Amino acid sequence: MKKTVYEALNWASSFLRSHGLEEPAGEWLLRHHLKANRAALLASFHDDMSEDVWLAFKADVERLPSGIPVQHIIGSESFYGRVFSVSGDVLIPRPETEELVEAVLERLEGTERIVDIGTGSGAIAITLQLESPGTEVTAIDLSEKALNVAQENAKTLGATVRFKQGDLCQPVKRECFDVIVSNPPYIPERDRASLAEQVREYEPELALFAGDDGLAVYRRLATELLEHVRDGSLIALEIGAGQGNAVKQLFQEQFPKATIEIRFDINEKDRIVLIDVRL
């Protein structure tokens, strides 16, 4: 039985609502299967869908109650106006991280050496390089699989980024940077059970959890980064909500002369720590 685009979207919305899921996921999947942007989707509301497309779309919608993120079905997520490939090997880029990128871009003059520690999909590193082409960007990740995703994104989007595999700063020994940016794991282990299923079950553990209090990686960074900064370097970190003061204190102890700013995100939660290094 044929369905119009409108009928398919209406069915998906009803199905997702009945399962307590967000209805926009249906539109994302429908646009994916029709290979259409939002304007084209709206313009085609009264068009009939082919049976193959309808059945494939229906099957994907029916997968969503299992908890699988819609981005994993589609295989991509938008970040800072670009489409990045994602998989279960990388964290899905979030809108809050765009604010971290924006905070760094505000400070760039265009010739800085930048390192992104824990790059995942490469969203931060690639965006910074493309938005400020004169910069020299290095991206590090412990996961080889994550780096494969990031390298493919860089190739697809035309970004020039040097990729290194290793633990935090280990792959760039004796190198100094003007900007160090990181969105490290920051979820306390004790919060594991309360996480949304699609995060807990489908996103990489390595990118999520950081010890009992969520600060384990920040403690290491505060110490390790001493060898990789110069006077005037910027350290820009994404943090978990409520961690601002604790992260600020960790870095103030290691960089007593630094000016440290905590910024709040669009949801009024502390989300970014900016450390202006003074040695």
* pLDDT at residue number 2: 77
Q: What is the pLDDT of residues 109-157, one digit of tens each?
A: 989 999 999 999 999 999 999 999 999 999 999 999 999 999 999 999 9
CATH number for the domain running over 88-276: 3.40.50.150
218 is in an annotated binding site: no
Could you state, in order of their start, the residue ranges of all structural domains in the chain?
5-66, 88-276
Is position 160 annotated in a ligand binding site?
Answer: no
- pLDDT of the residue at 185: 72
**What's the mean pLDDT in 164-181?**
96
Q: What is the pLDDT of residue 91?
A: 87
Query: Per-residue b/e over 149-159, b at no fewer than 16 CB within 10 Å?
Result: bbbebbeebeb
184 assigned to a ligand binding site: yes
Residue 183 is labelled as binding a ligand: yes
119 known member of a binding site = yes
Q: ∠ CA 185-191-195 to the nearest 5 degrees? A: 85
- Tell me the pLDDT tens digit for each residue of 214-231: 788 898 999 999 999 999
The model's pTM: 0.88
Structural tokens at position 254 = 């290691």
* Ranges 171-175, 193-197, 200-204, 272-276: which has the least confidence: 200-204
186 is in an annotated binding site: yes
Helix, strand, coil proportions of the chain in percent (round to 5)?
45, 20, 35
Residue 267 is assigned to a ligand binding site: no
Q: Is 122 annotated as a binding residue?
A: yes
Residue recorded with tokens 């079950």: 201
Residue 4, strand partner residues: 48
Residue 206: the pLDDT is 55
16 phi and psi angles, rounded to 5 deg: -65, -40
Q: Does 185 appear as a known binding residue? A: yes
* Residue-averaged pLDDT of the chain: 91
Beta-strand ranges (E) seen in the chain are 76-79, 82-85, 113-117, 136-141, 161-165, 177-182, 229-238, 259-264, 270-276
141 annotated among ligand-binding-site residues: yes
In the predicted model, what is the mean pLDDT of residues 26-42?
93
